[in-house]
Amino acid sequence: MARICVYCGSNSGARPVYQEAARELAAVLLRHDYELVYGGADKGIMGVIADAMLELGGKVHGVIPKMLCEKELAHQNLTELHIVASMHERKTMMAALSDGFIALPGGYGTLEELIEMITWGQLKFHDKPCGLLNVDGYFDHLLAYLDHATAEGFLRVENRKMLLCDDTAAGLLRQFEAYSAPKVEKWAH
Residue ranges in contact with ligand AMP by CB under 6 A: 7-11, 39, 41, 43, 46, 64, 68, 73, 106-110, 113
Q: Which is nearer to ligand AMP, 31 or 71 (CB)?
A: 71
Question: Torsion over CA of 164, 165, 169 and 174, rounded to 10 degrees?
Answer: -40
- How far is residue 21's CA from residue 45's CA, in Å, rounded to a whole number? 9
- How far is residue 189's CA from residue 185's CA, in Å, rounded to a whole number? 9
Write the DSSP assignment of 91-126 as a string of letters. Answer: HHHHHHH-S-EEE-S-SHHHHHHHHHHHHHHHTTS-
Q: Which is nearer to ligand AMP, 55 or 107 (CB)?
A: 107
Minimum distance from residue 17 beta carbon to ligand AMP (Å): 17
Minimum distance from residue 63 beta carbon to ligand AMP (Å): 8
Write the DSSP assignment of 148-167 as a string of letters. Answer: HHHHTTSS-HHHHHHEEEES
Q: Which is nearer to ligand AMP, 68 or 133 (CB)?
A: 68
Minimum distance from residue 14 beta carbon to ligand AMP (Å): 13
Minimum distance from residue 110 beta carbon to ligand AMP (Å): 3
Q: Which is nearer to ligand AMP, 115 or 181 (CB)?
A: 115
